[in-house]
Structures are given as C-alpha cells and as structure tokens.
Structure 1
Amino acid sequence: MHRLLRQLQAREAELALIHRIAGIGGVEVDLRDGFRNRRSPEYLIIHGLPPTAANETHEDWVARIHPEDRTRVESQFLDSLASTASDYSAEYRIIRPSDGRTRWVRVAAQIDRDTDGRPIRLIGAHFDVTDAKLAEQALRESEERFRTIANSAPIPMWVTKLDGDRSFVNQAYTEFFELNYEEALRLDWRARVHPEDAERILKAEQLRKLVPVSRDPPKNLFAVEIRILRTNGDWRWIKAVSQPRFDEHGEHVGFIGVALDITTAKQAEIELRSSEERFRLMVENAPVMIWMSDAAGKCVQLNQMLREFWGVSAQGVPEFDWSDTLHPEDRASVVSKVSCALNARSDFELKARYLDAKGRYRMLETRAHPRFSTSGEFMGMIGANVDVTERDEAEKARELLVDELNHRVKNTLSIVQAIAHQTFRNNADPIEARHAFEGRLIALGHAHDLLTHANWENASLAELAETTLDAKGTNANRISLAGPRVLLTPKQAVSIAMALHELCTNARKYGALSKDEGRVQVDWRRTSGAGAQLGIIWQEVGGPVVSPPARRGFGSTLLERTLAHDLDGEVTVKFDPEGLLCRIALPLDGAVAGLGD
C-alpha cells in the first residue's frame, strides 16, 4: 500500500513538473457537490489568483471572464455539461484580479459522467495564449493594413505563391484589367502580353530562375517593360517589378509585385526618338552645312554637306579639327571669337575662309547658338555654315557693274547730247528735227536692249542690223542682210547701230528706199588671226540717180567721227549714180567676245 502511494505521489510530482515546465494550469472540478475544485499553482498564476486562494465557485469563475465574452463562454460551458459530450474546449479573455490585465485563455477539458450520463467531474488544462493571440491580432491588423494600403495604391499590385498562383491582387489591379477580384486572381496575364514582348518575358523568367533567391533588395528585384492588353482592347505599356517574399522562418514562399503604367512615358520616348530621327534626317540632308560641338568646341556631328565640304567621313568626325582648315589670315580671329562665345555660352556670327576637300579656300558665313541639356547643363554649340563665296563675288561684281553702269550712263548721256547738238544745230525745220532726234534715240535704245540682254558683254551684229533696220518688219522685202556671226563690244554696237540708222534714214529720204523698186544689201565679213578686221558693205540699188550732197550732214559726221575716229576704223562713201556705196572697216581685237562662224 505504501509502495503504491509512493508511486502515485511520484506520478503527481512528475505531472506537476510537466505542468510547471509547459505552463499548463491544471484544474479538477467535482461537479456533484457545488463545483468543488483543485487548481494547480500554474492555474492560479494564469488567472491572477493568490497562492492561498480558497475554493472558487462557478460564479467566481464567470465573474473573472471578460464582459464581452462572459455570456458566450458560460452558455457554451453549461451546454457542454447538459449534453452527452465528454470533451470541452473554449477560448476567451479573463481580467486577472491581481493586476487587472486582460489575458487570453484556452481551455481543453474532459467531462466524466456517471452511468446515467450526468456530469460528475471535469479535468482540464488552461493555457495562457495571450502572446499568440496578440501576434495573431497583430498579423490580422498587419494584413488589414497591407490590404488597405495596397487597395489605396494607384498602381496594380499582386502577391503570388511559390507556384505562381496569385493569392492577392489590389483594387487597382482589378480596375486595370476591368475584372472582379476572383476573375483577376485567375487571370492568365501571359495571354495578354503583346507578341513582340513575349520573348522579353521569357528571358526575364529564365534570368530569375538562374539568379539565386536573395533577401537583399538590390539583388532580388526583377523588372521588365511589356505591353499588356486590357479587357477594353487598349494596349498599355507597363513596367512590372517583382521580388521574392519569405515567411517568418526565412523560407521563400512566393513573390510580390507592382506594375507601373508607363504608356505616356513610352509614347513620349517613342515620339522623342521619332523627333530625333526627323531632326537627324533633316540635318543630314539639309542644303546648308550644319554642325554640333561639345562644350570645348570640338566637333561631335557634321551633316553630309559639311562632311563632303571638308572631305571627312562620319567615322572621322571625332578626330577632325575644323580650325586646321582656316585660312592662316583668319585663324587667330576666328578661334578667339569662338572661344569667347563658348566661355560666355552665347551666340556668335562670323565669316572666314576655309580650305575645302578640293584644295580651294571658300568663304563661309557661320551662325551658332549654345545648346543646353534639360537640366540646364551647357552641352556645346549648334550652328550652320553657308558658302557665300559666289555671293561675295557677285556682290563685288555688282559693285563693279554699278560703277560700269554709271560710266555707261554718262557715256550715253554724252551720246544723246551729241545727237541733240548735231540734230538741232543744222536743221531749221523743228518737226523734221524732232523726228530725226526720236529716230536716233530709238536706234540707240535698240542697241542698248541687245546689250542689256547680253549683260552688256556683247551684241550680235546680225541681230543689231535686223533690229535697227527693221529687216524682218517694214523693210523685210527691201533690205537684205548677209554675213557670218560676229559679236560686237558695247562701244562698237552703239556706234554701228547709229551708223546703220543714219544710212537707212538717208536711204528713205534720198536713196533707194525712197522708191518702191529700190533695194539695200548689207553684207559683212571678217578676217581672223592677228589684226582681224570686220568689213561692212552698204549697197543701194534701184533708187533715184545719186549725186554727192551739197553739204555735210549728221550722217557723214557720225560715220567719220564715231566709226573712223572713235573705233579706229575706216569709212569710205561713194555716191555712184546707180546707188550709194558705203564701206566700213573696223579692227576686231581680243576684246571682242565670242567671235563665231
């Protein structure tokens, strides 16, 4: 008997030790006699009761339960007693009398019953699960905060398990795809990826599998830019960023990701590339020489026209030094001006001579402007060169032409003055004098017209004779012209035009053209080589009998003074009875442009 008692005491000691180590509060309640109970020291500690606490009643236990749990827990306990169940479990809050703190208690108990099913004893274990409950509550609160924050985020977010199935998507995710929550969880997003971007997704996933899973954020982020088809048929560019997630034990359990809608940025990027390409094509094919330099003034880009001008290949631009092509006389001033503009970040304009690929110095006019980055950093210069060599030469030629024109105007006025003097001095009839004066001015004008068309370089003798004598108009059947192509200098053209006009006027008044059957033949010929001569023959036939004039008129004076004296020529006039014969001989030297056949 004593041995059995000692074994029982040993077993109870072992059970007490287990309870103490595990923190289990043991309780035994005699349900037959007023709920008499035995409570272990751990039970008293869990419930905040003193070690000397007396036997407690059912009401004492109920009073210790948190008011919000009291009715539920008591009803559950009493229902368990009233039933035939042998197990009882509960979880509730108590308010400990010792310190007034609220603690969570979990109860697991066995109800012994008699043969009639009446409860006679309850043996139970109480556990303080406050820390687990608080952790569970904190987890729920954390998850709730996560969901609240995630659903408030303006960008799609998702959480996946290790197998890739989504366990959570936020509201922005469902709105992006225009699906409800359950549909969004089941969505096969890969089927929505643009075909051109599918390969990029495949490479990203392969890379993610190759890279060891790391908890270090800089190393475990995976990002890819793709186009996704929304339910409404709209393609959107997104940047998807994901990283692995781990449980409390550090085990990799899945991924969490976000998607940024970068459509606007992508469209801007595409438009920027298109704009840059348009700018590049425009610059490359522009009919002016366009260049760009860095902040030090070194060329970083030359368009095709400028590369051809300097004979530089596209690959050779970085090594090319434009200043080496400057004319020695221009180099110092140009380099100084460009350097000042670079330092001041200001515009500049200049003109200088540069050696081109053909070994010629060409005058280029340059205008340049500073260029800056979006952050305001000075990047260098952009400018255009225009070859103004011909323009400058034309300007010089124009100045010479103006001087020449002034000279010719003065000469013309002198001729007009001489014509007026000769016409009105010896002609008593004012009407006749006016007609003669007008006719001589018209002849002078015809010569000037021909010279103007040829830029006052030369005039064709054939055209001059045809125009002055109206050989294809009124006198088409009465005056014939024959001779090789001869180009006259301006001075010769004016003088010969005046001479032909006077000969024609005299023929109409007194010679062959005064009669219907009269005719005039104008022939000319020339000799080539050194001392070349132009010979012009005026022959009248079919007119009245010709006799020498009684006095010298303007025509004779013109022939002798202008042709013979001013042009260093010879003029002979024969007054044959059959018709006037005039021979004109003029020297044709190298100053005569374009002698032809």
Structure 2
Amino acid sequence: MSAFTQDAGPDVHQLIRQLQAREAELALIHQIAGVGGVEVDLRDGFRNRRSPEYLEIHGLPPTAANESHEDWVARIHPEDRTHAEGQFLDALAGTALDYSAEYRIIRPSDGQTRWVRVAAQIDRDAEGRPIRLIGAHFDVTDAKFAEQALRESEERFRTIANSAPIPMWVTKLDGQRSFVNQAYTEFFELSYAEALRFDWRSRVHPEDAARILKAEQLRTLVPASPILPKDLFAIEIRILRTNGDWRWIKAVSQPRFDEHGQHVGFIGVAHDITAAKQAEIELRASEERFRLMVENAPVMIWMSDANGKCIHLNQMLREFWGVSEQNVHEFDWVDTLHPEDRGAVVGVSSALKKRCSFELKARYLDTKGRYRMLDTRAHPRFSASGEFVGMIGANVDVTERDEAERARDLLVDELNHRVKNTLSIVQAIAHQTFRKNADPVEARHAFEGRLIALGQAHDLLTEKNWENASLGQLAEVTLDTKGANADLISITGPSVLLAPKQAVSIAMALHELCTNARKYGALSEDEGRVRLDWSKADDARAPLCIVWRESGGPPVSPPARRGFGSTLLERTLAHDLDGEVSVEFEPEGLLCRIALPLDSSVVGIRS
C-alpha cells in the first residue's frame, strides 16, 4: 500500500499543481474581464463560493462569508425581485441545464443600482435533481444605459420625424425601407406597414423613371469617407398622388454608417417643390412673354451690365444701329454719338456709379448714315439679392417730333406776326373808314366790305398755307367776277403767284377800286364796264403790271379830298410794297396802273 502510495504520489501532486495553475489563469481571466464567478452547492442548501470580482460587482466586502439565498434575494431591486427569484427557482425545478437572467441589484456598499447579467450551468444527478450551479455574473449597467439611451434617441428621432411636415425614410443596404415617418405614409395614403413594403418607384412619372438609380447603383457611389459632397444623392422627380395629382418632389438622401464606419443604408427626406416648379414654369413663360414684348416693341429697348456694356438690344434698336444679335456684346453705342453730344457719356457714367435712373437726349448715327435724335430713359436693375446688375432703358426717336416742334414754334411766331399785321390793317381800315364827319351807316357798310375783302384774301392764303396766292383767283373772288359782276368786270392775265403781303394789299386795292366804280364810276350806270389786265415780262427783275380800266360810265374827275382808296394805293402799294401807282381820270373812265416787284421766294408767272 505504501509502495503504491509512493509511486502514485508525484502524479497526484503534479495534477494538483496543474489544476491550481489553471484556476489561477481562470481567475486572472475573470479579473481582467470583470467576470464574477460563483459556485453554488445545491445538495445541502445554497452553500456557495464567490470570486472577488463577484463580490465587487455585488458591492460586498472581500471578507464576506457564505451568504444565504435570502441574502441574494434581498439585494435584488424591488421591481425585479419577484420575477428574478421565480425565474431562478423555475430553472432549478425544471430540467434545463442552462440558466440565464438579467435583473437589477442595489449594492450594499454604495447604494447604487446596477444591472447584472447571469449565465450559468446546472449540474444534475441521474434523477435530474440539481446538485450544483456554476455561473458568471456580468455588470451590464453601462450597456443597459447605452441601450436605454439608444431607445430614447430612437424615440426622439421617431417623434421628431413624425412631427416633420415632409416625408422622411430610412433604408437598408438593399433599399428596403426600415422606417418611414407619418408625412410619408400620409403622402402615399398608406399604413405604416404598407409604406415599408411599398415600391415607391411605381408612382414615378415615366419621363423621370430612367433617372432613378437602383440600390446597387447607389452603393457604388458612396465614398469611403463619411464626408460627402452636398446634394450628391439629390433628384427632382414627379410622383403620382392617390388623387391623380402629379407632385414635383426633391428627394435628398445621405448614406448611413454604423459605429465601425460601414455603410448600412440611406436616410432621406422629400420636399414638395410643386409650387416652386410651377413658379419656375410661370417665370420662364413670363420671361418669354417679356422677351417677345421687348423684341417686338415699337420703341428701342436695351439692357446693359453694371459697367454700361450692352448685353441686349431689341430688334428695333439692332436695326437702327445695324448690329446683329450675335455681336451685341461687342457693340459700343458711344461710337455712334454725334461729336457735339459726346459729353452725355459723363451723365451715363455718373448714373452707373450712383445706380440711379437717368434721362438723356442726344443724336446717334444710324445704319443709314443719318444722325437721329433719340430720347433715352433708363432705370437700374437689381438681382433678387439686391445686387446692382446694370441698366434697362428705352430710346424713342424724336427727330420728327423735334422738327415738328420747331415748325410749330415758327408757325406760332408767324401767326403772331400775321395777327399783329392783320390787326394793324383792321385798325387802319377802321381809322380811315370812321374818320371825322363820316356818315355812320355808310361807314359801317364800307367797313364791312373792306373786312370781307380782307377775309377773302386770307382764305386764299390759308388754302396755300400762307405761302402764296394766285392773282387770278384773288381778282375773281374780290371782284365777284363769277357772280353779280360776271357781265360787268372782265379779268385777263397769266398765272401769277403773289406773296402773302402782296396778296392782301392788292385784294384791298381791287376792293376799293370796285367800290369806287360802283359808287362814282363806270359801274354806277347800266352801260358801264371794268376791265382788269395784268402782265409780266420774262425778265425776273421786271415788275408785275396791273391795269384797271373803266368805261361806259359818267364823266370822272379828281376827287375833292383823298379817301381810303387813295391812301391805300399810295401808301400800301407804292410805299410798303415798293411799287408804283398811277391814277388817271380820263373822259372814258378811270385808269389805274400798278407796277410792283414780285417776291423772289414766290414763283412768278406761269403761262
């Protein structure tokens, strides 16, 4: 027996030492990993052995003695106690060989609440009765807090996402939705579960479908770095609503990465940009209408940049300067200014610097080589952000208007002059007619006749824009040779044009000669006649000769006093018109000769 013992002894001791070494290694592993080991002998109560790590996890002193089942139960958090103890006892009473649990304890050492996870093995005898439990306790408080924080974060995300007024979603790598918010389900009018399974691509407009990438194509675009360019995964598409409306959507997605930097899917949002798209369409339509209106406007319209360089000329202005649409940017309008108007550039430069409106009137050389007067009005243009971008203006060709204004001014001056002259004539007629001791009735009739003669002369001049009057028409109207005096007065002579002043004076003279003949001369008797002749030599310097000849009337003699007719013939015709007048009282009747030069600005005789 002793020999056997001596032979076996070294092997047993060696085994013991090896076992002790393994236990030491295991203890070291438990220490490093923070694993609390426990062994419970279930054959006689709940005798147990606990590692130092177990004691630390449970807040027990290193010298803590064997504890009872009740001591363990007492450390369990009141809210978890009943469930944890029941779960343990059920495991022992059953047939399972494994036991695991999670519960909270309140550590006696510091009163902290800690989460403990238990993983144990139950050894049973041949009848299945538990004889021993060997397990490990882990402090999983930090993990539980992290899980709780994650759940709270996810709950906050869901709350925020569901409160957002725009659709949001989260996808897996394969493109399957793992989350959609309430706005997403409302947009597609689906339940949450239906929305997760729904293939949203089926609602995309056919014209936009080809631009949508598949999940595997999207994955190839995700760079290794989480820092991505803006709008890398952005697209504008039309999606059909359940009510049949097409809505413009701008979908923006960003890759999702896990804690290891691995790409795990996408998160995205969708903005309904239908109103913006409609506004964009209307803006383009408005711009096109504006372009057509400007291009075909009956005025010259232009636009410049901030430096005053032309960037647009409408059709009328391009035709005015002979500039093609392609060469507008190279055109410099300053080169077309009249040399005398070059100073206007200073005002334009000042307006550009001050960014204010300006008005300009200057002459510009057109494509036909003519200088045309253009009236320009321009206003500054600003971008949506308030930046000055240039000027827009309109040029109106006022050449004819200015010429008309000058003509009007000349006409007004001429009218004033003529009115003054007419008033002077009327005043002279009145003065001579209503002279002292004149018979009122006779004077009134004479005054009316003289005014009528004056008016008839004015009518003829008005028909010719007061440029000239025909001597033949003047004599015909004044002497009424086609009316009451058709058989009494005859007129002959070539076509002669008289200047306005000459026409008025000769008309008055003929009226006085006719009045005198009717009162005292040839026309005072039935057999009396008057002949009016005029002639002019071909020489432009030769005077116009007019002859008034009466016949068949009573004998005539020089008057005892000088009347209006004598004064008119001598003062007006002889003096004012630089003519010569002679009056002879012959036995056959009165003979009056008038010679006066014709105005060089008026065409004289036409045969």
Which residue identity is paired with 1:448? Answer: H
**Which shifted more, 526-535 or 340-349?**
526-535
Change (3 A) 1:297 1:153: same
Which residue identity is paired with 1:309? Answer: F
Instruction: After TM superposition, give the deviation of residue 230 of structure 1 in Å.
Output: 4.1
Matching residue of 1:132: 143
Which among 185, 190, 201 is matched to residue 196 of structure 2?
185
Unpaired stretches in structure 1, ≥5 consecutive residues: none
The C-alpha deviation readout for 1:535-566, integer Å capped at 9, x for no partner, is 999999xxx95456455676687678766873
Q: CA RMSD in A?
A: 4.9
Matches within 5 A, 1:159-558: 159-194=170-205, 197-198=208-209, 201-202=211-212, 208=218, 211-219=221-229, 221-232=232-243, 235-331=246-342, 333-424=343-434, 428-459=438-469, 488-498=498-508, 501=511, 546-547=553-554, 549-550=556-557
Instruction: After TM superposition, give the deviation of residue 166 of structure 1 in Å.
Output: 1.6
**Which shifted more, 466-475 or 339-348?**
466-475
Matching residue of 1:55: 66
Change (3 A) 1:210 1:466: farther
**Residue 308 of structure 1 contacts residue 357 of structure 1 at CA under 8 Å; is this kept in 2?**
yes
Change (3 A) 1:548 1:80: farther
The C-alpha deviation readout for 1:360-401, integer Å capped at 9, x for no partner, is 333444444444445444444444444444444444434433
In the alignment, structure 1 residue 71 sits paired with structure 2 residue 71: no
Instruction: After TM superposition, give the deviation of residue 155 of structure 1 in Å.
Output: 3.3
Change (3 A) 1:450 1:186: farther
Which residue identity is paired with 2:340? Answer: E
Distance 1:370 1:339 in 2: 12
Distance 2:127 2:557 in 1: 183
Change (3 A) 1:425 1:124: closer
What TM-score, normalized to structure 1?
0.78
Which among 146, 150, 153 is matched to residue 142 of structure 1?
153
In the alignment, structure 1 residue 153 sits paired with structure 2 residue 164: yes
Instruction: After TM superposition, give the deviation of residue 499 of structure 1 in Å.
Output: 5.3
**Residue 49 of structure 1 contacts residue 98 of structure 1 at CA under 8 Å; is this kept in 2?**
yes
Which residue identity is paired with 1:59? Answer: E
What TM-score, normalized to structure 2?
0.77
Distance 2:218 2:592 in 1: 110
Instruction: After TM superposition, give the deviation of residue 78 of structure 1 in Å.
Output: 2.2
Unpaired stretches in structure 2, ≥5 consecutive residues: 1-7
**Residue 204 of structure 1 contacts residue 222 of structure 1 at CA under 8 Å; is this kept in 2?**
no
Instruction: After TM superposition, give the deviation of residue 169 of structure 1 in Å.
Output: 1.8
The C-alpha deviation readout for 1:272-317, integer Å capped at 9, x for no partner, is 5455545544444444444444444444444444433333333333
Distance 1:463 1:78 in 2: 146
Tell me the SS of whatever aligns to 1:434.
helix
Which residue identity is paired with 1:222? Answer: F
**Residue 373 of structure 2 contacts residue 398 of structure 2 at CA under 8 Å; is this kept in 1?**
yes
**Which shifted more, 467-476 or 425-434?**
467-476
Tell me the SS of whatever aligns to 1:202.
coil
Distance 1:231 1:311 in 2: 57
Change (3 A) 1:245 1:580: farther
**Which shifted more, 483-492 or 178-187?**
483-492
Distance 2:23 2:396 in 1: 106
The C-alpha deviation readout for 1:57-80, integer Å capped at 9, x for no partner, is 211221222222111111222233
Change (3 A) 1:80 1:430: same
**Residue 529 of structure 2 contacts residue 552 of structure 2 at CA under 8 Å; is this kept in 1?**
no
**Which shifted more, 82-91 or 425-434?**
425-434
Which among 74, 77, 100 is matched to residue 89 of structure 1?
100
**Residue 215 of structure 1 contacts residue 244 of structure 1 at CA under 8 Å; is this kept in 2?**
no
**Which shifted more, 370-379 or 83-92?**
370-379
**Which shifted more, 117-126 or 433-442?**
117-126
**Which shifted more, 378-387 or 527-536?**
527-536
Change (3 A) 1:469 1:426: farther
Instruction: After TM superposition, give the deviation of residue 510 of structure 1 in Å.
Output: 8.6
Which residue identity is paired with 2:252? Answer: V
The C-alpha deviation readout for 1:462-509, integer Å capped at 9, x for no partner, is 775676567898899999999998765323442454456557767877
Tell me the SS of whatever aligns to 1:457.
coil
> Would you say how many aligned residue pairs link Structure 1 and Structure 2?
591
Which residue identity is paired with 2:68? Answer: T
Which residue identity is paired with 1:33? Answer: D
**Residue 19 of structure 1 contacts residue 25 of structure 1 at CA under 8 Å; is this kept in 2?**
no
Instruction: After TM superposition, give the deviation of residue 348 of structure 1 in Å.
Output: 4.2
Distance 2:490 2:269 in 1: 101
